Amino acid sequence: MSYIAETADVSPQAVIGQGSKIWHLAQVREDAHLGENCIVGRGAYVGTGVTVGTNSKIQNYALVYEPAVLGEGVFIGPAVVLTNDTYPRSITPDGALKSSDDWEPVGVTVEQGAAVGARAVCVAPVTIGAWSTVAAGAVVTKDVPPFALVAGVPARRVGWVGRAGHPLRDDDGVWVCPETAERYEESNGHLTPLGVEA
């Protein structure tokens, strides 16, 4: 059974998975799809047609604009913004107010297990790779590789993280998670999981 706070604004056309919780003043628009056991925090916004995978969390006051796609187990921190307009303008060149027919939304994709830290902005169209971490306050303007740790404005890779979210340590050319002991190999700017050494 899902929980929807009385002050939340959830469209009847939204699909809310079992066990999901939508808290005070959150808004979930038409045709949004939330998987099972999702959390949408106070004052968060989930746009029309956005897809949110099972076990994902959208923290307080985050703005997830359509057509964003969030994979399973994604963490969207407080006040994060996932944009959807590459060339934003309120009016057309002749001064008329723009309508939905005057622009085409583009989305942010956040893959399985990835985390986007508080007040980060992801400028669409970008993909945040699986199990990566975007540091708080970062501005992402380019795709983030899986397992990358990115920070800054604009965001750049400053390290690697494992599935547990901890920064990986270089152990003689192999990256190791201090939490799980999982090992990774780096090649051409990408990591490949090797498992845990026996």
> Tens of pLDDT along the chain (198 residues)?
899 999 999 999 999 999 999 999 999 999 999 999 999 999 999 999 999 999 999 999 999 999 999 999 999 999 999 999 999 999 999 999 998 888 899 999 999 999 999 999 999 999 999 999 999 999 999 999 999 999 999 999 999 999 999 999 999 889 999 999 999 999 998 999 987 765
Residues 150 and 186 in one domain: no
The span from the CA of 104 to the CA of 87, in Å, is: 10
The span from the CA of 35 to the CA of 101, in Å, is: 30
Q: How many distinct structural domains can be found in the chain?
A: 2
Q: Give the domain extent around 145.
A: 3-160
The pLDDT value given to residue 198 = 54
Residues 24 and 105 in one domain: yes
Residue 76 tokens read as 């969207």
Residues 106 and 189 in one domain: no
Residues 189 and 95 in one domain: no
Residues 60 and 8 in one domain: yes
Residues 88 and 43 in one domain: yes
Residues 173 and 138 in one domain: no
Residue 71 tokens read as 């994979």
* Residue 84 belongs to domain with CATH number: 2.160.10.10
Residues 173 and 119 in one domain: no
The pLDDT value given to residue 6 = 97
Residues 191 and 145 in one domain: no
Residues 99 and 177 in one domain: no
Give the Cβ contact number of residue 174 at 10 Å: 14
Secondary element (H or E) of residue 75: strand 75-76
Contacts of 157 (CB under 8 A, 6+ apart): 144, 145, 148, 149, 150, 189
